[in-house]
Amino acid sequence: MHSFRKWSPEAEQTLRDCFGDTLHYTVVDCTADYINFSMDIVVPVRTVCCYPNNKPWITSDIKDLLNQKKRAFRDGDQQELKRVQRELKVQLREVKEQYKRKLEQMLQHNIKQVWNVMKKITRCSSKRGDTIEGDVEIVNQLKNIFNRFDYSNSFTPQYIAPPLLLSIYPLLPTLAQWRISLHPQSQQPRCAES
């Protein structure tokens, strides 16, 4: 979990005003504490959870190899990079095979744990969502927003189009004519007879 301060122009100006009203030469020993105290009052603190983005088969050995690969790439050492890539490929194959065997063993003994692992891999959780706390007014506003898409069954059209006249039907192309005009027959070249 990481915490950070969410700065805004208003918070910065309020903090400047706080420091402007202080006689700093009298509080030299506690300046840092006073700055932190003032920031705690003025600037809100946000807490963010950071989750690793690693697959379950990634181990510390694999991470070490990945870091070696990054270092070799950064240094431009092609020989070291190729060596580390080969070793990484072999290690990944072994670790994935171990993980596969572990899952197969779990499948034979503990089905519940298999589903938990599958949910972890796919990041699928059984949470149905958070509930919204609020008063009846917010609920009614949301209801009005979404109910505008509902139509009643007693809908009567305001305008009824006149029926087509039979006299215009000969002017419309038939399906066969339409198909012919869209897909003309291709001409096949013939050999000239001598």
19-42 pLDDT, tens per residue? 777 666 666 666 778 888 888 888
In this predicted structure, the answer to whether residue 194 has a pLDDT above a threshold of 50 is no
Across the range 78-107, mean pLDDT stands at: 91
Q: Which residues make Cβ contacts (< 8 Å) with residue 69, sequence separation at least 6? A: 81, 84, 85, 88
127-165 pLDDT, tens per residue? 665 565 667 777 777 777 767 665 555 555 555 555 555
Q: Which residue has the tokens 């989750």?
A: 51
Work out the burial of residue 84: count CB atoms within 10 Å of its CB; fewer than 13 is exposed, 13-18 middle, 19 or more buried. buried
In this predicted structure, the answer to whether residue 189 has a pLDDT above a threshold of 80 is no
Q: What is the C-alpha separation between 156 and 175, in angstroms, rounded? A: 33
Q: What is the C-alpha separation between 41 and 74, in angstroms, rounded? A: 44
